[in-house]
Amino acid sequence: MADAGVPTAAGPSRAERWEARRRALIPALIALTSVLGAVGAWRAAVASGAAGGAERQAFADTVAAELQGAVLETQLASVEFTYARVAALEARAEPLEEAAAAAEGDEAARLEALAGAYRSTADGLRPFIDADALAADGSLDLEGARRTRLDLAGDFQDLDPGPEEAAIADYRAKAGRLVGLTALLVSAALFFTLAEVSRHRRTGVLFWHGGAVVLLVAVALLIVVEAL
């Protein structure tokens, strides 16, 4: 039983209890910001790696498209030359056939043989003219052949770097945002550290609240960025 004249020791006040809990939380919050900062840096590295992979793929697609285009233009140039050669041979044969029809005897036979040689040569070259390069009326359509060949090549090989280039921009933007969030988390850890070492209670409370606000904002933004 306590003596009547001896004062009892007062317990810690509510403010003192909150101060004790706040200081106890600071190491845990510093550790949390460190972990989240490491996660942010890791995700930024992953996004940067994905951007690098997309960039390499876009380069490969561009090279493949250039090579395919070069081969195609060579083929189309050959078709155009052959078509022009066939047209020239047929143009030579026509007047000879008309002259042979008007001539007689050996002269007619000679003209017919010469016209036949031109026709035969033209017929021999005709199979080398790609059907895709001919319009419905028999005229040369190189643009149609170009579209057809490129569409066919695209079915077997990726020749369009456009999607990869768009992905590069997205990955780089994400990596940049994650780096910024990592810096934000570092600043939160700095606030908590200052709150822990501060000798003035009011200053320590300000640093603690500043760190808490920065941490909450960084966590919310980290969730949003990862969801994008």
- Here the tokens at position 2 are 């306590």
CA–CA separation, 143 and 34 (whole Å): 60
Asked: is 17-227 a CATH 2.40.50 domain? The reply is no
CA–CA separation, 26 and 204 (whole Å): 11
Q: Which amino acid is at 79?
A: V
| pLDDT 10s digits, 137-161 | 888 888 888 888 888 877 777 777 8
Query: Taking Cα atoms as reference points, which of 199, 182, 209 lies closest to residue 25?
Result: 209
pLDDT for position 153: 77
| pLDDT 10s digits, 5-37 | 545 445 566 666 766 777 778 888 888 898 988
Burial class from Cβ neighbours inside 10 Å (0-12, 13-18, 19+) for residue 225 reads buried
Burial class from Cβ neighbours inside 10 Å (0-12, 13-18, 19+) for residue 195 reads buried
Query: ∠ CA 156-160-162 to the nearest 5 degrees?
Result: 150
Q: What is the pLDDT along the chain (228 residues), one digit of tens a residue?
A: 445 554 544 556 666 676 677 777 888 888 889 898 888 889 899 999 999 999 998 888 888 888 888 888 888 899 889 999 998 988 898 888 888 888 888 888 888 888 889 889 988 988 888 888 888 888 888 888 888 888 887 777 777 788 888 889 899 998 999 998 999 899 998 988 888 887 787 888 888 888 889 989 988 888 888 877
State if pTM tops 0.95: no
CA–CA separation, 39 and 55 (whole Å): 24
Q: Which residues contact residue 150 at a Cβ distance below 8 angstroms, ignoring those fewer than 6 apart?
A: 68, 69, 72, 159
Residue with structure tokens 């550790």? Answer: 31
